[in-house]
Chain A
Amino acid sequence: MKKVIAIVMILGAGNFAFSQGAVMTKYFEKYSSDEDFTKVSVSSKMFSLFTELDANTEDEKEFLDAISKLKGLKAVVGENVESAESKRMYSSAVADVDKEGYEELMTITDAEENVKISIKESGGKIEELILVAGGKSKFALLSLYGEIDLKKISKLASSMRVHGMQHLRNLDDDNDDDDRN
């Protein structure tokens, strides 16, 4: 009986781990051979290189501190996407994210672009942040995973030139009182 429970628990844990990256995996596979969509993957090995940098200012120190706790970044970015297609993709991606149980953190809607930022928490810590952006001609799905500090993540947004990351700068203003981490 104990063996059966253990097997069920292992299978359950396996499914949970898989579901964490399921949205990103789906979009990576879907657009793998479409050159109009750029697929970016940055591993923890790359982030660990940043820890060797010397911080000269407080901002740089915060940036390096934030980046050292990340385990990876994945993004699918489409440019020159038709407006109707971009809106359809945005709605579809948001539905996929919601279905996977992510918690909504912020939504930005303006004439240029719709953006939704969602998170997945475990043990009171944010372990994945997922951003969906769809505009007049662009679509972006971006996932950051590892140990994420919302107060420091805006520093990354200013430093990384990946479409969609700029929206994370808003987290600094909107989460000053947030004590998630």
Chain B
Amino acid sequence: MRNTLLITLLFLSTLGFSQESILKDFAEDRRDVKLCFYPSTLRMINIKNDPSYYELVNDVEKLLIFIMDADDSSTEWTNQYRALGYEEYITMYGKVNLVLLGKDEEYVGLSGDGNRVAAFYLRGTIAFQKIPELIRTFESGDMLSLIKFNMDQ
């Protein structure tokens, strides 16, 4: 009985790992920038202690961002997530590409143009209702933009 439970737990943890690894496998060799955020590092960005930001990221367990040059295969990896049952929230293809897929409490997506693309994996939940407030905070420069900082390197 104990063995069955152990095997089940191992199987479930492998599933969780493999879903994150689809993006990792695609992006690791191509990316210029890799950002990995956990709850503690997500809170560090909030230099002005904006409460809306805390509410937004409070339930985010992990956020991975890869930034790389775009090519014809930049969006192909998302099909592997679709095959796993990730549902489309929004897609945009053309000169600008944007994809957001989600399943349970996992989200993957990308945003970019013909030259550069940022792909992400997020585990947890986002307080979507706080996003408009957060955008205003970012625009006012009250938030440390690690992405911009890394892109400028």
Residues on A lying within 8 angstroms of B by beta carbon are: 32, 35-43, 45-46, 49, 52-54, 77
- List 7 additional A-B contacts (Cβ < 8 Å) besides A35-B95, A35-B114, A41-B91: A38-B92, A45-B89, A49-B128, A52-B127, A52-B129, A53-B128, A54-B129
A/B pair count, beta carbons within 8 Å: 46
Residues on B lying within 8 angstroms of A by beta carbon are: 87-96, 100, 102, 114, 127-129, 132
Q: Complex formed: what's the CA distance from A57 to B146 in Å?
A: 34
Q: Across the interface, which residues of A come within 8 angstroms of B102, CB to CB?
A: 45
Q: Complex formed: what's the CA distance from A37 to B93 in Å?
A: 8
Most-contacted residue by chain B among A32, A46, A52, A54 (CB, 10 A)? A46
A49, B89: Cβ atoms under 8 Å? yes
B90, A42: Cβ atoms under 8 Å? yes
Q: Across the interface, which residues of B come within 8 angstroms of A45, CB to CB?
A: 87-89, 102
Q: Tell me which of B87, B100, B129 contacts A53 (CB under 8 A).
A: B129
Q: Tell me which of A32, A39, A53 contacts B92 (CB under 8 A).
A: A39
CB-based nearest B residue for A49: B128
CB-based nearest B residue for A77: B94
CB-based nearest A residue for B102: A45
CB-based nearest A residue for B94: A38
Q: Across the interface, which residues of A come within 8 angstroms of B127, CB to CB?
A: 52
Q: Complex formed: what's the CA distance from A67 to B129 in Å?
A: 14
Q: Tell me which of A36, A41, A53 contacts B95 (CB under 8 A).
A: A36
CB-based nearest B residue for A73: B90
B94, A39: Cβ atoms under 8 Å? yes
Q: Tell me which of B87, B92, B93 contacts A43 (CB under 8 A).
A: B87
CB distance from A27 to the nearest CB of B (A): 13
Q: Across the interface, which residues of B come within 8 angstroms of A37, CB to CB?
A: 94
B96, A38: Cβ atoms under 8 Å? yes
Q: Across the interface, which residues of A come within 8 angstroms of B90, CB to CB?
A: 40-43, 46
Q: Complex formed: what's the CA distance from A115 to B90 in Å?
A: 25
